[in-house]
Amino acid sequence: MNAPKEQLRREYEGRLRLLVPGDAAELKRLPLLELVPPRIRDSVVAKIRPYAHFLDFAPGQVVVAAGEYSDSVYAIVRGAAVVALEPAQPVTRRAQMKGSPPPKPAAASAAPGRVQTLGAGDLFGDRSALSRFSVSATVSAWTPLRVLRLRLPALRMLTAVAPELRRTLDQRYRDETLSQQLRRVGLFAEVDEAAIARLREQAELMSLSPGQLLAREGTLADSFYLVRGGYLKVSVDVGGADLAVTYLRPGDFAGETAILFDQRWPFTLQAVEHAELVRLAREDMAAVAGDQPRLNDRLWQEALARLKTRGAVARNPVASEYLQMAIETGLVHGESVLLIDLTTCTRCDDCVQACADTHGGQPVFIREGKRYRNWLVPTACYQCTDPVCLVDCPTGAIRRSVGTLEVTIDPATCIGCSNCATRCPWDNIVMVETGGARADGKPEEVAVKCDLCRGRAEGPACVSSCPHGSAVRLSFKDMDKVRSVLR
């Protein structure tokens, strides 16, 4: 955070080049473009130019840092890079509810450990771009490096017109990432390497567009799905009404009943937005489950839990109503959503005052927002699982560190470009004036957002300072809490 000024300037200048479209001639020369059929190559290049950038790095400079979010795939044009592999850290429950503990002083960059070198023509960053997970390893330049950065729209366009590229990316995913992701899902945590490798081979990667139905309740269940990116709504049909039961996030799975019961789908699955899935055929999954008793147990546990939830929802549709509302409004993205109960809130603004006290006199949310029944959803950042505000930051001031829940903005490095504020679908990031002036005379601004009062031992100040206990924080994933709190 307190980087030396010089390095900061260099990084800034490097990232400024993101605004410069790639040179068409240079693009055409890339081996990557050779995968595109020649007759449409020119038009493709013209379309992807605004989203393709050439960047240069000096030896030692970091291209992508672990824990960052990236929306781009990088192709090395010239030079060599090293990849420092770090272990992945799961997000703890405490972090989910209260935010992360105060940050420890930054350790010196780790000893190399396991490294991997990449050369000209190699790709990296595609997994995090497509699945929207954070970057898992730091990639830095070994020699003077020139890379092509392809942002997501360009990547999508290319994969649409170049099936081989698609296959390459899928294969890469399958080889490098699927195992990791499979392991990350608690279900497969204890499965041995060989079984994982088998699953990896048999897995099929698929995408869904918003609103697309994956499975309808009552139809035959024949697949096991793993969610890579995006959100799926899980609902049941109760007396003609479609009641939302829960939703699936990246890392969740569906279809355990297919393996255990050989039955029809007990739920309807529908994509809420663009979703990326991994599909495993029933027979393959059953074979693996047959070998692994622990896996079997876990499947049973999950199945029972879901059936219970389904029963509870049928008995108490109100909670389902809240869930439906959350899915429609996007609250399901949030890991920690602030809700205020208006029947007990005395509009005293103590929450805002406490927020201001924690953030040096500047509150980071307003007690305004959408209202559902007696609950107000103020504009405090929801700490999305899959934040869209992280991409496009020119200075990297907005970040989410690995293993933490909250997305933080560093006011020292924020230049007030308001990209993040614009990208947030719910306007939860606001630009505030710092009091200074820019070079062009306009007032200097920085972006602020809720950071779950990171560094405060008791957790978010808004919740602990409400004199009537009207402010609550919850995740809509936790249906028990939703049922008990939102009534």
Partner 1 sequence: MPYQVPWGTPERTRRLPKLRPLRPPLILPAVTGATLLALFGLHAAWRGLAAPGPVSQAHGASERRCQECHTQPGGVVNNRCQRCHDAGPIARLSHRAHEQAGRGVSATAGDAGPRARPEVSAPSCASCHREHLGRPALLAPRDDGQCAGCHFRGLASHPEFARITPAHTQAVTPRSAAVSPLPPSGVSSGFSHRQHVAELGKRGVATWDSCLGCHAPSVEARDLQEISFDRHCATCHASSGSLGATDPIPPADVETPRDIGEFQSLGGRIVKTVVRHRDPWVLASLRRLRWRIDPLGAAADRAALEARRSALRRHLALAAPLAGLDLPALEARDAALRAEIAELESRRSSAGGSVEAGLAQVTLASEAARDAGDAAAAREATELRAATLALSQGPIEPATLAPAEHDARRLELLVVIDALASASPEQRLRAEDLRRRVLALRPGDSTEAVVARALDQRRAEQRRVEDEIRLRRSGVVPPSTNLLARERRAIEEALASTAARLQQIGSPPGDSIVVAVDGDAAVSLAALAVRCAPCHGTEGAMVRGPHVTQRALTRATFVHGPHLGQAACESCHAGVERSEASGERNLPGIARCRECHAPRRVLSSCQQCHRYHPGDLP
Partner 2 sequence: MRIVAATRPKKPRVFAATLGVALLLVALHGFGLSRGRFDPGRGLGLLFGVVAAAGYVFAAAYPWRRRASRLAPARVWTQAHVYLGSLAFLAALLHAGLARPQGLVATALLLLSGWTTLTGLLGTALQKWIPSRLTEGLRVEVLLERIEELRARLVADADARMAGAGEVLSRHYRQELRPKLARPMPAWSYLIEVRAGREQTLEPLRRLAGFVPAADKTRIDDLTGLHIEKLELDAHLTLQRLLRGWLVLHAPPSGVLLGLVAFHVFTGLWY
Interface residues with partner 1 (CB under 8 A) are 352-353, 356-357, 361-366, 368-371, 376, 379, 427, 430, 432, 448
Q: Does 458 bind partner 2 (CB under 8 A)?
A: yes
Q: Which helix (H) or strand (E) holds 453?
A: none
Cross-strand partners of 430: 448
Q: Of 115, 167, 155, which is closest to residue 131 (Cα–Cα)?
A: 155
In 17-92, which ranges are continuous DSSP H helix? 24-29, 41-48
Q: In whole angstroms, how close is the CB of 468 to partner 2 at the nearest point?
A: 6
Residue 361's binding partner out of partner 2, partner 1, none, with CB under 5 to 8 Å set by partner kind: partner 1
Closest CB 346 distance from partner 2, rounded Å: 5
- Number of residues binding to partner 2, judged by CB under 8 A: 26
Q: Other CB atoms closer than 10 Å to residue 375's CB: what's the count?
A: 19
Cα distances from 455 to residues 104, 263, 366, 458, in angstroms, run 10, 49, 21, 9
Q: Which is nearer to partner 2, 303 or 472 (CB)?
A: 472
459 Ramachandran zone, left/alpha/beta (phi>0; psi -120 to 50): left
Question: Please, are residues 295 and 224 in contact by the beta-carbon 8 Å criterion?
Answer: no
363 binds, among partner 1, partner 2, none (CB under 5 to 8 A by kind): partner 1
Nearest-CA neighbor of 278 among 155, 157, 159, 174?
Answer: 174
- In the complex with partner 2, the residue whose CB is nearer, 2 or 343, is 343
Q: What is the torsional sign of CA 193, 132, 159, 81?
A: negative
Binding to partner 2, residues 362-381 (CB under 8 A):
366-368, 371, 374, 376
Stretch that binds partner 2, among 154-162, 219-227, 419-427, 453-461 (CB under 8 A): 453-461
Task: Compare residues 268 and 465 and give the one whose CB is closer to partner 1.
Answer: 465
CB atoms within 10 A of CB 419: 17
**Alpha-carbon distance 455 to 217, whole Å?**
46
Q: Which does 427 bind (CB under 5 to 8 A by kind): partner 1, partner 2, none?
A: partner 1
Query: Segment near partner 2 (CB under 8 A), from 31-39, 55-63, 224-232, 454-462?
Result: 454-462
Q: How far is the CB of 408 from partner 1 (least distance, A)?
A: 17
Binding site residues, partner 2, CB under 8 A: 342-348, 350, 354, 357, 366-368, 371, 374, 376, 457-458, 461, 463-469
